[in-house]
Structure 1
Amino acid sequence: MKKKNKILLTVFTIIIFINILLLNSNIWIYNNFGNVKFQEILFTLLSPTSGTDTSVIFSYIIRVIVVSFVLSILFIFCVLYLRRKCSSKAFKYLKCMGSLLIVITLILSLLYTNNRYEVVAYFNYQSQKTTIYNKKKKVHKKKNTEYIGDSTIIYQNPEDVKISGDNTNNLIYIYLESFENTFLDTENGGIKNVNCLPELTELAKQNTNFSNTDQLGGALPFTGTTWTIASMTSQFTGLPLKVEVANDMDKQNQFMPGAKTIGDILNENGYIQELMIGSQKEFAGTDKLFLQHGFDKICDINSLKQEYSFKSNELNQWGLDDYKLFELAKNEITQLAQTGKFNFTMATIDCHMPKGFLCKYCPNTYENRYENIYACQSKLINSFIDWCKSQSWYENTTIVLVGDHPTMAQ
């Protein structure tokens, strides 16, 4: 084969591979995540894998990259076969028509991908500038300006935020992994024929709940708040997390040093604060977010393993099963309650995409695996709340249950 033809064949192969890769990627993303946007995809690609469930990554490598590579090679073999079997004129015609078809399909694939994931829109967002900090003052007669808060708008200089009060409550703040109202029945604001979260439904009705509808609903997430560390950041600070830092915060020295967080405010008011998670605290800079903003202690899978022994059926790919985490949370809160005012924050994991994690308490009464896991969570959380009600500190405690972000599972 001539050198020119070898180069053309190589380019042809690369274009075919990209075509097949885009098609397979779109199918795989839809099957695993549903309707996600480019920032979530970029975040996932940039995430470190230490201490995480890597099954999704292996799934993509095998089902998308390997399959696309094999199909591309088979396609090229077909081209070489036709080149030997067809006449020169016929093959030249097939080559022209095939090249045209491949280029057209590639353009259509790129347009479809952009329309579905809003890739161009994402890069447009990156160049946008806000005027919300509209008061400026010069610093040391240099060109640099310092932005200060404006009392007529909601954004303020964090250093100006002073919050205090008498007869303050303890706080138990629970981030519920991937919780959304979808798993309720239609009568209560969900989409199911049967309510998978009956206990949480009653808790919401009997207590204060926030909804975007007349039924049980929830918050509508902003850009930069739709994955775990971004959600923790936004709920903790009132600020979204830029996707450029996303899960790269474990490599940064400081986590939003200029922000005034819930932890900072409670620390100023003498609270002892602890975070409990079943995964590794270093992931995405979680330890920096909390320890640099008023928290005294983090219990994660590594520190818990040093203090307790676990059976294999109490662990999953991320770390500790939620039922065991709730058991240990009772021990930690009991100790915290003896120190004075406390803030105990924890995060669940069992409902994590793509399939969630079944535990020994999960029922088998609903249509699919995911529904059964959510139903199990509802019972676990309700049981934990019942335990809290039996404690002496309960009357002086506020408990917040909140989904960290909508489910990323299709």
Structure 2
Amino acid sequence: MWIAVLTVSLILYILLNIILYASYYFTSQLSLGSFAQVLYTMQNSMSGSESTWSEAVGGFFVRQWPWLLLGILVYAGLLWLYLKQKKTGEAGNKTMKQLKTGFLGLVATLTALNGIYGYQLYNMFGIDKYNESQAKSSDLYENYYADPRTTKIEFPEKKRNLIYIICESMESTFADPSAGGGFKKSLIPELTKLAKENTDFSSDPKTLNGGLTPGNTGWTIAGITAQSMGIPLNVGNSDFNRNFEDESQFLPYVVGMGDILKEQGYSNFFMCGSEAEFAGRRNYYEQHGDYTIYDYNTAKKDKIIPQDYRVWWGMEDEKLFAYAEKELTEIAKKDEPFNFTMLTVDTHFTGGYLCPDCPDDFENQYENVIRCSDHKVTEFVK
């Protein structure tokens, strides 16, 4: 029994290390938006995120190995001392009692520490806020949502093509204060200029005062859903958004932009530099507009990249834009109108992907990645 008690203390010690590492990882290495994001990601396809998982697991052992080794050595030492004292019989009774008391104290201390740090992790995930939000109702749909099924939508006789670029983790905060941003030197001067010389949706013509992000719209697939469906990606009913199986339904009773365009005779296309299955993106685009999908895997088939090529989440934006130009040149030759949606990836948190031709204007790598994406997107638009 006492060996079992000592073993339980080792398990509690390892659990404490996991909790401490999780607190570090989710605050320093990942941009955690909400507990809903955690739930959604856990119940969806993880294709394409293998490098992230291996990085997380590997980082645990790299960061915690001294403490893990110390715990194992202490466990082995106490176990050896216990077994040695047990053999001495009566002469070792006093030491045995002290050891047993120490075992119980160790278990109690580790249990308390797990409780304290576990509660901190609980608060960091925002589980209490998530549970509270589940009990609330919203007037979003009654007062603000325009249902495409009952709303009159008119298209011109000659329909225009749409090229829709979703910029990963990009926001107006990266501009300088004069443009409504928060950086002393703008990270997105070219996108700012592009916006102001054309049509943007700021209420102030001098600044880029972008929109706020309501709950369940702040991670990639949730942002995609919010932009093209007009609703947050709520995860209360997993039957309608999870991706364990290919036939899983993605919000089947909501009409999205792709559905509307398909009904109007558009051909829909989606391109990304990672695997489209990740987070249910393939299901979303195929089920809402019958999109033709281009991703990391099709890029290998189309010989855009070598078969063994893999960087970041699959391939970087430099190759993504080259792939898009190639496909758009062919798509544009056809007579029917088209919608070509693409998702960049270099600016994905944390750190981003710094390609060889990125500038080195800032000390922080992520700032250089943002500035690089600013240029690449603008050049692609031109």
What TM-score does the superposition give when structure 1 sets the normalisation length?
A: 0.77
Correspondence 1:2-401 to 2 at 5 A: 4-34=1-31, 36-50=33-47, 52-64=48-60, 67=65, 69-77=68-76, 79-80=78-79, 87-88=95-96, 91=99, 94-95=102-103, 97-126=105-134, 128=135, 130=137, 153-155=143-145, 158-166=148-156, 168-211=159-202, 215-243=207-235, 245=238, 248=243, 251-310=246-305, 315-338=310-333, 339-386=335-382
Q: Is the 8 A contact 2:33 2:219 kept in 1?
A: no
Contact 1:20–1:72 (CA under 8 A) maintained in structure 2: no
Change (3 A) 1:291 1:103: closer
- 1:390 is aligned to none
- Rounded to whole Å, the distance in 1 between the matches of 2:214 and 2:323 is 33
On the 8 A contact 2:3/2:79 being kept in 1, the answer is no
Q: Which deviations, in whole Å up to 9, do the C-alpha atoms of 1:348-372 show, x marking residues without a partner?
A: 1111233322223212222122222
Distance 1:63 1:315 in 2: 20
Structure 1 residue 131, shift from structure 2 partner: 7.0
Change (3 A) 1:230 1:71: farther
Which amino acid is the alignment partner of residue 216 of structure 2? G
Contact 1:280–1:301, Cα closer than 8 Å, also in 2: yes
In 2: Cα distance, 1:48 partner to 1:313 partner = 22
Paired with 2:358 and 2:184, the residues of 1 have a C-alpha distance of 20
The one-letter code matched in structure 1 to 2:73 is: L
Task: Indicate how the Cα distance of structure 1 residues 72 and 242 shifts in structure 2: closer, same or farther if over 3 A, else same.
Answer: farther
Q: CA deviation at 1:329?
A: 1.9
Contact 1:229 1:247 in 2 (8 A): no
| RMSD across aligned positions (CA) | 3.2
> In the alignment, residue 74 of structure 1 is paired with which amino acid?
L
Cα-to-partner distance string for 1:98-132 (whole Å, 9 max, x where unaligned): 44432332221122112222123323434x26475
SS of residue in 1 equivalent to 2:155: coil
Measure the CA separation in 1 of the matches of 2:303 and 2:113.
57
Give the AA of the match of 1:334.
Answer: T
Tell me the distance in 1 between the aligned counterparts of 2:58 and 2:70: 13
Q: TM-score, normalised by structure 2?
A: 0.82
Q: Unpaired runs of 5+ in structure 1?
A: 134-148, 387-410
Contact 2:45 2:280 survives alignment (8 Å): no
- Secondary structure of the 1:194 match is coil
In structure 2, relative to structure 1, the CA distance for the partners of 1:205 and 1:249 (3 Å cut) is: farther
Relative distance call for 1:258 and 1:46 in structure 2 (3 A) is closer
2:91 corresponds to which residue?
Answer: none
Report if the CA contact (8 A) 2:45-2:277 is conserved.
no
**What amino acid is aligned across from residue 13 of structure 2 in structure 1?**
I
Gaps of 5+ in 2: 86-93
Q: 1:364/1:112 Cα in 2 relative to 1: closer, same or farther (>3 Å)? A: same
Shift, 1:176, TM fit:
0.5
Moved more, 238-247 or 13-22: 238-247
Q: Measured at CA, do residues 131 and 112 of structure 1 come closer, stay the same or move farther in structure 2, by a change above 3 Å?
A: closer
Could you tell me whether the CA contact under 8 Å between 2:174 and 2:187 is conserved in 1? yes
Distance 2:215 2:159 in 1: 33
Q: Deviations over 1:143-186 (max 9, x none)?
A: xxxxxx86xx3346553233113265322111111112343334
